[in-house]
């Protein structure tokens, strides 16, 4: 079974006091002490972000590791050895474009595809959610929100931060009307969209008012 969970925002990076989405991710793992690897490429391997991950997932009983492309001297083996030995891989937020270019240069996307196909659960937030879809809306291409192609493992497009960044919704609606972006999904902060075998499965939220939507040229449909 192949699983991807796309978070619109929230999670441990926003608050260590509300780990409901992270708890949900761990509940999907069969192991009593799941192996969880954090990939913070999109943030330039932010040390603060890494510390938050280790604090959050350590407190939840996971066996944690971090894969840092910017600090290859920290590797104790080759990337494939680490990434194919995980129950859950969580991809952090930041620049979608920079992350995708680096992954493709290093072959990390190929390794992650192997992990996905063998049943490792993949999850990500913001840029780390965008990356799995055919397209996304992102601010990593310069000023403003733009459309960019992504890995295409999930069909359609993804838009994170659908409530916390006011420009996202009207721009997405315009892009959909003009057919410059494919129909797909949007999620507010605190909402996660769970896919099983590339099909929509369910939405999980960590707060009142959080939601995810199926979006097309005509409307937003609450999932």
Provide the annotated active-site residues: 126, 161
Nearby residues of 113 by Cβ (< 8 Å), 6 or more positions away: 153
Q: Provide the token pair at 178.
A: 């003009």
Considering only CA atoms, which of 21, 214, 221 is closest in space to residue 128?
21
Compute the residue count for the chain.
Answer: 223
If you search the block for the tokens 């510390």, which residue do you land on?
51
State how far the Cα of 208 lies from the Cα of 203, in Å rounded to an integer: 13
Q: Is 68 exposed, middle or buried (0-12, 13-18, 19+ CB in 10 A)?
A: middle
State how far the Cα of 220 lies from the Cα of 223, in Å rounded to an integer: 9
125 contacts 92 by C-beta, under 8 angstroms: yes
Q: Is 196 exposed, middle or buried (0-12, 13-18, 19+ CB in 10 A)?
A: middle
């Amino acid at each position: 079974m192949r699983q991807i969970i796309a978070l619109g925002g929230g999670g441990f990076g926003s608050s260590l006091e509300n780990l409901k989405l992270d708890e949900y991710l761990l509940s999907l793992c069969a192991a009593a002490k799941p192996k969880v690897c954090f990939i913070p490429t999109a943030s330039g391997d932010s040390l603060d972000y890494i510390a938050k991950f280790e604090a959050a997932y350590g407190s939840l009983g996971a066996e944690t590791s971090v894969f840092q492309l910017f600090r290859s001297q920290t590797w104790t083996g080759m990337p494939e050895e680490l990434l194919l030995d995980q129950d859950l891989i969580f991809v952090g937020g930041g620049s979608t474009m920079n992350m995708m270019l680096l992954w493709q240069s290093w072959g990390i996307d190929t390794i992650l595809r192997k992990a996905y196909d063998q049943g490792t659960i993949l999850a990500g937030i913001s840029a780390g959610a965008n990356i799995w879809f055919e397209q996304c809306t992102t601010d990593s291409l310069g000023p403003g929100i733009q459309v960019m192609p992504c890995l295409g493992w999930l069909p359609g497009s993804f838009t994170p931060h659908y409530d916390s960044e006011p420009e996202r919704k009207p721009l997405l609606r315009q892009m959909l009307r003009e057919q410059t972006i494919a129909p797909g999904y949007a999620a507010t902060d605190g909402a996660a969209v769970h896919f099983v075998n590339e099909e929509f499965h369910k939405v999980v939220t960590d707060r009142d008012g959080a939601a995810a939507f199926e979006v097309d040229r005509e409307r937003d449909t609450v999932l």
